[in-house]
Chain A
Amino acid sequence: MWKSPKSLLLAAAVATVSIGAAQAQDIAAGEKVFAKCKACHMVGENAKNRVGPILNGIVGRAAGTVDGFKYSPAMAKAGADGLLWDEANLSGYLRDPKGFLKGNKMAFAGLKKDEEVVDVIAYLESFDADGKPATPAKQSQAPAGAAAAVTTADAAGPSRETTGSVTEAAGLKLGLGRTATPEEIAAWDTDVRPDGEGLPEGSGTVAHGMEIYDERCASCHGDFGEAIGRWPVLAGGQGTLQAERPEKTIGSYWPYLSTVFDYVHRAMPFGDARSLSNDDVYALTAYLLYLNDIVDDESFELSKENFTSIRLPNEDNFFDDDRDEEPFYADKSEPCMTDCKPGAPEITMHAAVLDVTPEDGGEENASGGGID
Chain B
Amino acid sequence: MTTNAGASRRAILKGGLIGAAALAGGATASRAGASESLITEIQDWNRYPGDGVDARPYGKPSEFEAHVVRKNVPWLTSDAISSVNFTPLHELDGIITPSGLCFERHHAGIAEIEPANHRLMIHGLVERPLVFTMADLKRFPRENKVYFLECAANTGMEWRGAQLNGCQFTHGMIHCLMYTGVRLKHLLDEAGVKTEGKWLLAEGADASGMTRSIPLDKALDDCMVAFGMNGEALRPEQGYPIRLVVPGWEGNMWVKWLRRLEIGDQPWQHREETSKYTDLMANGKARRFTFEMDVKSVITNPSPQAPILHGRGPLVLSGLAWSGKGRISRVDVSMDGGRNWTTARLDGPSLPKALHRFYHEFDWDGSDLFLQSRAIDEHGFVQPTKDQLRSVRGANSIYHNNGIQTWHVNSDGVIENVEVS
Tell me the A235-286 residues at the B interface (CB within 8 Å).
241-242, 246, 248, 250, 253-256, 258-259, 262-263, 266-267, 270-271, 273-274
Determine which of A157, A194, A317 lies in contact with B269 in the assembled complex, contact meaning CB atoms within 8 Å. A194
Which label, helix, strand, loop or mixed, suits the secondary structure of the A interface? loop
Q: Which of A189, A254, A345, A350 has the most CB of B within 10 A?
A: A345
- In the complex, chain A residues whose CB is within 8 Å of the CB of B291: 321
Is B159's CB under 8 angstroms from A351's CB? no
Q: Contacts A5-B116, A248-B275, A335-B341 given: A184-B189 contact, CB under 8 Å? A: no
Segment of B31-39, B88-96, B201-209 in the binding face: B201-209
Tell me the A121-154 residues at the B interface (CB within 8 Å).
153
Does A37 lie at the interface of the complex (its beta carbon under 8 Å from any beta carbon of B)?
no
Is B209's CB under 8 angstroms from A320's CB? no
Is A242's CB under 8 angstroms from B283's CB? yes
Does A164 lie at the interface of the complex (its beta carbon under 8 Å from any beta carbon of B)?
no
Q: Which of A220, A255, A320 has the most CB of B within 10 A?
A: A255
- In the complex, chain B residues whose CB is within 8 Å of the CB of A176: 132, 136, 139-140, 190
- In the complex, chain A residues whose CB is within 8 Å of the CB of B289: 320-321
Tell me the B340-390 residues at the A interface (CB within 8 Å).
340-341, 370, 374, 376, 380-382, 384, 388-389
B252: nearest chain-A partner, CB-CB = A372
- Pairs across A and B, CB under 8 Å, 13 listed: A5-B114, A170-B189, A173-B186, A177-B122, A246-B396, A253-B286, A267-B208, A328-B392, A345-B338, A352-B165, A363-B75, A370-B398, A372-B153
Give the distance in Å from the alpha carbon of A114 to the alpha carbon of B132 in the complex.
15
Q: Contacts A193-B266, A193-B269 given: A170-B127 contact, CB under 8 Å? A: yes
Give the distance in Å from the alpha carbon of A366 to the alpha carbon of B201 in the complex.
33
Q: Contacts A230-B78, A335-B376, A369-B398 given: A191-B211 contact, CB under 8 Å? A: yes
CB distance from B85 to the nearest CB of A (A): 10
Is B211's CB under 8 angstroms from A351's CB? no
Interface string of A23-58 (1 = CB under 8 A from B): 000000000000000000000000000000000000
Segment of A8-16, A78-86, A208-216 in the binding face: A8-16
CB distance from B33 to the nearest CB of A (A): 40
Give the distance in Å from the alpha carbon of A273 to the alpha carbon of B408 in the complex.
47
Give the distance in Å from the alpha carbon of A328 to the alpha carbon of B382 in the complex.
8
Segment of B22-30, B53-61, B412-420 in the binding face: B412-420
Give the distance in Å from the alpha carbon of A273 to the alpha carbon of B206 in the complex.
10
Is B269's CB under 8 angstroms from A323's CB? no
Interface string of A295-322 (1 = CB under 8 A from B): 0000000000000000000000111111
Determine which of A318, A348, A356, A372 lies in contact with B285 in the assembled complex, contact meaning CB atoms within 8 Å. A318
Q: Which of A256, A320, A368 has the most CB of B within 10 A?
A: A368
Determine which of B158, B209, B287 lies in contact with A319 in the assembled complex, contact meaning CB atoms within 8 Å. B287
Q: Contacts A259-B269, A332-B380 given: A156-B128 contact, CB under 8 Å? A: yes
Is B123's CB under 8 angstroms from A177's CB? no
Does B134 lie at the interface of the complex (its beta carbon under 8 Å from any beta carbon of A)?
yes
Count contacts between A and B, CB distance < 8 Å: 327
Q: How many residues of A contact B (CB 8 A)?
A: 104
Is B280's CB under 8 angstroms from A171's CB? no
Give the distance in Å from the alpha carbon of A263 to the alpha carbon of B130 in the complex.
25
Does B163 lie at the interface of the complex (its beta carbon under 8 Å from any beta carbon of A)?
yes
A175: nearest chain-B partner, CB-CB = B190
- In the complex, chain A residues whose CB is within 8 Å of the CB of B370: 345
- In the complex, chain B residues whose CB is within 8 Å of the CB of A354: 161-163
- In the complex, chain B residues whose CB is within 8 Å of the CB of A242: 282-284
Is A259's CB under 8 angstroms from B116's CB? no
Does A178 lie at the interface of the complex (its beta carbon under 8 Å from any beta carbon of B)?
yes
Segment of A65-73, A199-207, A336-344 in the binding face: A336-344
Categorize the interface residue count of chain B.
Answer: 35 or more
Give the distance in Å from the alpha carbon of A362 to the alpha carbon of B201 in the complex.
39
Determine which of B129, B156, B280, B392 lies in contact with A368 in the assembled complex, contact meaning CB atoms within 8 Å. B156
Tell me the B192-221 residues at the A interface (CB within 8 Å).
192, 201, 203, 207-209, 211
- In the complex, chain A residues whose CB is within 8 Å of the CB of B201: 191
- In the complex, chain B residues whose CB is within 8 Å of the CB of A258: 269
Does B235 lie at the interface of the complex (its beta carbon under 8 Å from any beta carbon of A)?
no
Does B135 lie at the interface of the complex (its beta carbon under 8 Å from any beta carbon of A)?
yes
Is B269's CB under 8 angstroms from A256's CB? yes
- In the complex, chain A residues whose CB is within 8 Å of the CB of B71: 358
Q: Contacts A13-B136, A230-B78, A370-B77 given: A259-B275 contact, CB under 8 Å? A: yes
- In the complex, chain A residues whose CB is within 8 Å of the CB of B338: 340-341, 345
- Which residues of B line the A interface, CB within 8 A? 10, 71-79, 81-82, 84, 105, 107-108, 114, 116-117, 121-123, 127-136, 139-140, 151, 153, 156-166, 169, 173, 186, 189-192, 201, 203, 207-209, 211, 252, 259-260, 262, 264, 266, 268-271, 274-278, 280, 282-292, 294, 304, 332, 336-341, 370, 374, 376, 380-382, 384, 388-389, 392, 396, 398, 400, 408, 416-421
Q: Contacts A256-B269, A318-B285 given: A273-B121 contact, CB under 8 Å? A: no
- In the complex, chain A residues whose CB is within 8 Å of the CB of B72: 358
Q: Contacts A172-B190, A180-B131 given: A323-B274 contact, CB under 8 Å? A: no
Q: Contacts A256-B269, A341-B339 given: A357-B128 contact, CB under 8 Å? A: no
Does A371 lie at the interface of the complex (its beta carbon under 8 Å from any beta carbon of B)?
yes
Is A345's CB under 8 angstroms from B337's CB? yes
Give the distance in Å from the alpha carbon of A8 to the alpha carbon of B115 in the complex.
12
- In the complex, chain B residues whose CB is within 8 Å of the CB of A188: 121, 203, 259-260
Determine which of A8, A189, A326, A343 lies in contact with B421 in the assembled complex, contact meaning CB atoms within 8 Å. A343
CB distance from A156 to the nearest CB of B (A): 6
- Which residues of A line the B interface, CB within 8 A? 5-6, 8-10, 12-13, 114, 153, 156-158, 160, 166, 169-174, 176-180, 184-185, 188-189, 191-195, 220, 229-232, 241-242, 246, 248, 250, 253-256, 258-259, 262-263, 266-267, 270-271, 273-274, 317-323, 326-329, 332, 335-341, 343-352, 354, 356-360, 362-372
Q: Contacts A350-B162, A356-B163, A357-B169 given: A177-B136 contact, CB under 8 Å? A: yes
Q: Contacts A172-B190, A263-B270 given: A351-B260 contact, CB under 8 Å? A: no
Give the distance in Å from the alpha carbon of A179 to the alpha carbon of B190 in the complex.
11
Is B280's CB under 8 angstroms from A158's CB? no
Is B339's CB under 8 angstroms from A345's CB? yes
- In the complex, chain B residues whose CB is within 8 Å of the CB of A326: 384, 392
B137: nearest chain-A partner, CB-CB = A176
CB distance from A91 to the nearest CB of B (A): 10
Give the distance in Å from the alpha carbon of A267 to the alpha carbon of B285 in the complex.
27
- In the complex, chain A residues whose CB is within 8 Å of the CB of B121: 180, 184-185, 188
Is A153's CB under 8 angstroms from B128's CB? yes
Give the distance in Å from the alpha carbon of A153 to the alpha carbon of B84 in the complex.
42
Is A193's CB under 8 angstroms from B128's CB? no
Q: Contacts A351-B163, A372-B153 given: A156-B208 contact, CB under 8 Å? A: no
A187: nearest chain-B partner, CB-CB = B121
Determine which of B151, B173, B259, B340 lies in contact with A337 in the assembled complex, contact meaning CB atoms within 8 Å. B340
Is B341's CB under 8 angstroms from A338's CB? yes
B382: nearest chain-A partner, CB-CB = A335
